[in-house]
Amino acid sequence: METRTFGDTGLEISEVGLGAWPLGGSEAGLGSYGPIDEKIAVATVRRYLDLGGNFIDSARAYGPSETYIGKALVEGAYDREAVIIASKTASTTSWDDVPNIRKDLETTLRELQTEYVDLYQLHTPPEDSQLRERIIDEFEILREEGKINHIGASVKGPSVTDATVALSRSYIETHRIDALQLIYSIFRTRTEQIFDESAATGVGLIIRTSLESGFLSGKYSPNTDFSTGHRARWSKAKTERLLKVAEELKQIAVHPPYNTLAQVALKFALQDPRITCIIPGAKSPEQCEANIAVAELPDLSPELIETLREYHIEDVANP
């Protein structure tokens, strides 16, 4: 597994990380990916680490995800300093959330069975500049205590608009964060507007949702039942539209050595050198293997990249 320099943190992290939201199972909130057996969840984390990955992204809001990560680390007796763990507060959207930040982190540390997290991120970071500064002040105190090493912001979705770009830029301009986590995919490329600024200021970039909740995986058809789980939030009309476009993309882009649309979608983001890592979700060891294998594929051609950019869909986000 190749690594990339994570902004100015001094860390070298795997270019393909493990997005641990799916490991939370049905308890991971409205956006859950359905139930998952604890043994499979733990095995997924261990498989990722055994394959050479070192970056795991979770959150307080992801149900038992952190618990399973902690069990995997202990069961596998992994070197804690060799594993880079990122987590997030339960929420940072209002002044009422500030008193809960320390409590959330302490719960996270207990479930992860660790004394610190390498990266702690504001979850849905606020637009209010005074609240933003107050929350980062609290993070700074936790860093001074050795409970966190670096500070990040996981910029909210689901819609990616000019306001999303402006919010991301406002966090870079504080010069108080070490990392940004952003949505970026074939369908949603708007956040690319701040990639250069992020790189120039030493802010690491973590990219999520490159598979667009599976709609860019290429494995769904118009007959797929989306009545339960994460994808039930999309309207029927939007689901049909996304599936139609995905089928068109398969015809255009899926050719050897690329065998699936998922490989194309992940590589689309991964081959941008300004991005530190992508964090596709996985809820089985086999999915970890498939995600990591994408890093070994040759780059997509510049011509294909430009063609894929034409498939930006403004309203791809769930309702």
pLDDT in tens, 39-73: 999 999 999 999 999 999 999 999 999 999 999 99
- 225 pLDDT band, cuts 50/70/90, is low
The pLDDT, as a whole number, for residue 22 is 92
- 165 pLDDT band, cuts 50/70/90, is very high
Q: Is residue 209 part of a domain?
A: yes
Q: Is residue 69 part of a domain?
A: yes
Q: Are 253 and 308 in contact (CB under 8 A)?
A: yes
Task: Name which residue leads in pLDDT, 213 or 89.
Answer: 89
Give me the number of domains the chain comprises.
1
Give the separation between CA 136 and CA 143, rounded to whole angstroms.
Answer: 10
- 319 pLDDT band, cuts 50/70/90, is very low
Q: Is residue 319 part of a domain?
A: no
Q: Are 125 and 132 in contact (CB under 8 A)?
A: yes
Q: In the chain, how many H helices and how many E strands?
A: 10, 10
Give the separation between CA 188 and CA 215, rounded to whole angstroms.
Answer: 12
Q: Is residue 317 part of a domain?
A: no
Q: What is the CATH number of the domain that holds 195?
A: 3.20.20.100
The pLDDT, as a whole number, for residue 313 is 83
- Which letter does DSSP use for residue 50 in this model? H
Q: Which range is least confidently modeled, 18-32, 53-67, 81-95, 288-302?
A: 18-32
Q: Is residue 316 part of a domain?
A: no
Q: Which domain holds residue 10?
A: 3-309
Q: Is residue 189 part of a domain?
A: yes
Give the separation between CA 18 and CA 40, rounded to whole angstroms.
Answer: 14
Q: Is residue 318 part of a domain?
A: no
Return the closest-CA partner of residue 120 out of 197, 58, 61, 171: 58
The percent of the chain in helix, strand and coil, each rounded to the nearest 5, is: 45, 15, 40
List, as one string, the DSSP characters of 98-163. Answer: TTHHHHHHHHHHHHHTSS-EEEEEEES--S-HHHHHHHHHHHHHHHHTTSEEEEEEE---S---HH
Q: Write the pLDDT tens digit of every residue in 81-137.
A: 999 999 999 889 999 999 999 999 999 999 999 999 999 999 989 999 999 999 999
Q: Is residue 315 part of a domain?
A: no
User: pTM of the entire structure?
Assistant: 0.94
Q: Are 288 and 47 in contact (CB under 8 A)?
A: yes
Q: What residue type is assigned to position 274 of the chain?
A: R
Return the closest-CA partner of residue 166 out of 176, 175, 156: 156
